[in-house]
Amino acid sequence: MKIPEDVVLSTGLAYPSKKVTNVSCVKDYLGMLSAADNPTSEGRAAAFISYSASKVQVEFEIISRKLRQNIVDSVARDKHGPEGVRILRLLSHTGKMDEKQVKDSLDCLCLSSNL
């Protein structure tokens, strides 16, 4: 895909000089999408793209998983409020839990949000 030269890609990015090439902007945007600023394993797992010196790969599986999770969270928030989203996230991260564990975890989350 060819980007026209008259398009200003530096809008929204902070650079020390006013004159920045579109190639530099594209590299910076790709760096953000690849979670280059978060080199942890969680950051790399959440990256939307992966790239090396000569190849850029869009991680559609990660993107679709994130979109799916956002839809499920918004439906849970609409039907059950923020507590429902918290319980849903607890269950999705830890697997099966009994009612007492959910209640204790939710109590801890509610207490920590009130601080």
69/54 same-domain check: no
CA distances from 68 to 10, 44, 50, 54, 65 (A): 30, 19, 20, 30, 5
Mean pLDDT score of the chain: 77
On the question of pLDDT at 28 being above 50, the answer is yes
* DSSP SS3 for 63: helix
What's the structural domain count of the chain?
2
pLDDT of residue 72: 87
**Domain end among 58, 77, 105:** 58
What is the residue range of 78's domain?
62-114
67/101 same-domain check: yes
**Residue recorded with tokens 């398009």:** 7
- Quickly state the pLDDT bin for 115 (edges 50, 70, 90): very low
pLDDT of residue 18: 77
On the question of pLDDT at 16 being above 50, the answer is yes
**Domain end among 58, 74, 92:** 58
| Averaged pLDDT, 56-82 | 86
* DSSP SS3 for 56: strand
- Quickly state the pLDDT bin for 90 (edges 50, 70, 90): confident
Instruction: Evaluate whether 35 touches 43 at the Cβ level (below 8 Å).
Output: yes
48/74 same-domain check: no
84/67 same-domain check: yes
Question: What one-character-per-residue DSSP string does 86-99 give?
Answer: HHHHHHHHH----H
75/109 same-domain check: yes
pLDDT of residue 55: 78
